[in-house]
Amino acid sequence: MPITAGTGSTNQTMTVSAFKKLVGKTNTGNQKAFYEETVASSIQINTKRIFGDDIPQSVPNPTDAIAAGDLYNTYSASAGGADIVQIVEFDVIGFNSQYDADADKTFGDVEYFGGDESQVSGEHGYYLRLSADYNTSSSFGGTAPFSSSQVVYASNGALQLVHPQFGPATSNGYFLELYTSKGGTRINDTDPTDWVVDYYNGTILVQDYDASKIPTYAVAYIYIGKYADEKISDASGSGGGISYSRTAVTADTTASVNDVIIGVSSSGDLDNIEIRLPDASDLSNGQYFLIKKEDNFASTVTISPSGTQNIDGQNNSIVIQSGFGAVNLYTDGSSNYFIY
């Protein structure tokens, strides 16, 4: 793509813009100027938008998931581990970026070569949106950005597709599949329309418009695990950093995911106290609690699991009855706690 004077931009700026197009991070057509990029790229992000959990390496591709009726299933990276990815349906909606991408064009003083073949003016930019029935179809979510009709790019990275680069070298199920409609014709990866996906923003650029292959439906995996900032916070709260903490408790309470040592003090022999454990899936694999009765009263400290979750394989509470007794617990980060 020749770069000439006339656009009021430096060579460096235009080179960066050209690089974005080369790596598939552009969200406008090749004939658009860099300042017409209205959706941010994923070239620079912080820990709130970096995957913190291992990505499962064995997931079905969308075609097989559709055939098996497995849409909205979730998958973990290890047996019994927390759910990390989910396969979902998307509506594909045009950005209203219609133009004629025939080859050998000019934009001001800049000459560009926009398309590989003769074509008419049509839509080239699209964005992904969770289906309108996501909340009823999925057992996960219900809270933004994991909610019906959520636009991916509008979440500013809180909702991301899993890029195929996170998958295995062979039998990689993370490639987005694009269709003309739900149950309609699939637009294959090698289709002459030459389409590319920005998995971070959930946008699609179609280079060569074809009126018979307008995408309206897609299936791909989204990330539902913890981001890097959460993992760092968990590690710090679990004694993983150089920091330690003790939480003093004098009444019934639910432990926080950031608690490590919980010191329980009663006011007398009849002042029994209950410590309710947080949902194990909200904690990291191996995260632990030390719960200590810090008095010698005849009162008890009851430790209860969340919902139907287990402590040592049983959905029962455990009780500290002796003065100055203690219990150590760790979790698998999914649905179980274990005494150690």
Average pLDDT over residues 176-186: 97
Average pLDDT over residues 215-232: 92
Q: Report CA-CA distances (Å) from 154 to 130, 202, 210, 241.
A: 12, 9, 27, 34
Distance CA 236, CA 244 (A): 8
Residue 306 vs residue 207, higher pLDDT: 306
Which position has the token pair 């923003």?
Answer: 201
Q: Domain 230-339: which topology?
A: Jelly Rolls (2.60.120)
Average pLDDT over residues 166-183: 96
Q: Inform me whether the pLDDT recorded for 55 exceeds 80.
A: yes
Write down the pLDDT at residue 7: 38
Q: From 142, 218, 235, 130, select the one nearest 180 (Cα to Cα).
A: 218
Secondary structure class of 309 (helix, strand, coil): coil
Q: Where in the chain is the domain with CATH 2.60.120?
A: 230-339
Write down the pLDDT at residue 3: 37
Tokens matching residue 304: 């209860």
Query: Environment class of residue 243 by beta-carbon count within 10 Å: exposed (0-12), middle (13-18) or buried (19+)?
Result: exposed
Name the helix (H) or strand (E) containing 15. helix 11-22
Helices (H) and strands (E) in the chain, counts: 4, 22
Write down the pLDDT at residue 112: 57
- What's the pTM? 0.60
Query: What proportions of the chain, in percent to the nearest 5, are helix, strand and coil?
Result: 15, 30, 60
pLDDT tens across 275-300, in order? 999 999 999 999 999 999 999 999 99
Average pLDDT over residues 11-22: 54
Secondary structure class of 48 (helix, strand, coil): helix
Half-sphere exposure at residue 114, Cβ-oriented, CA atoms within 13 angstroms: 26
For the chain, what's the residue count? 340
Q: What does DSSP say about strands 195-198 and 186-187: parallel, antiparallel, or unpaired? A: unpaired
Q: Inform me whether the pLDDT recorded for 110 exceeds 70.
A: no
pLDDT tens across 226-273, in order? 899 888 776 665 444 475 689 999 999 999 988 999 999 999 999 999
CB 220 within 8 A of CB 130: no
Distance of CA 131 to the CA centre of its chain: 16
Write down the pLDDT at residue 166: 95
Residue 87 vs residue 96, higher pLDDT: 87
Distance CA 251, CA 317 (A): 17
Q: From 29, 139, 15, 34, select the one nearest 88 (Cα to Cα).
A: 139
Min mean pLDDT across 39-53, 143-157, 169-183, 249-263 is at 39-53
Residue 2 vs residue 168, higher pLDDT: 168
> Which stretches of 175-245 are DSSP H helices?
228-237
> Which stretches of 23-176 are DSSP H helices?
62-68, 134-137
DSSP-derived secondary structure for 59-90: ---HHHHHHHT-TT-EEESSTTPPEEEEEEEE
Write down the pLDDT at residue 14: 54
Average pLDDT over residues 87-104: 84
pLDDT tens across 72-92, in order? 999 998 877 788 999 999 999
Which position has the token pair 């292959």?
Answer: 213
How far the first Cα of the chain sits from its last, in Å, is 64
Percent of the chain with pLDDT over 70: 79
Q: Inform me whether the pLDDT recorded for 29 exceeds 60.
A: no
For CA atoms 94, 100, 105, 108, the dihedral sign is: negative
CB 328 within 8 A of CB 318: no
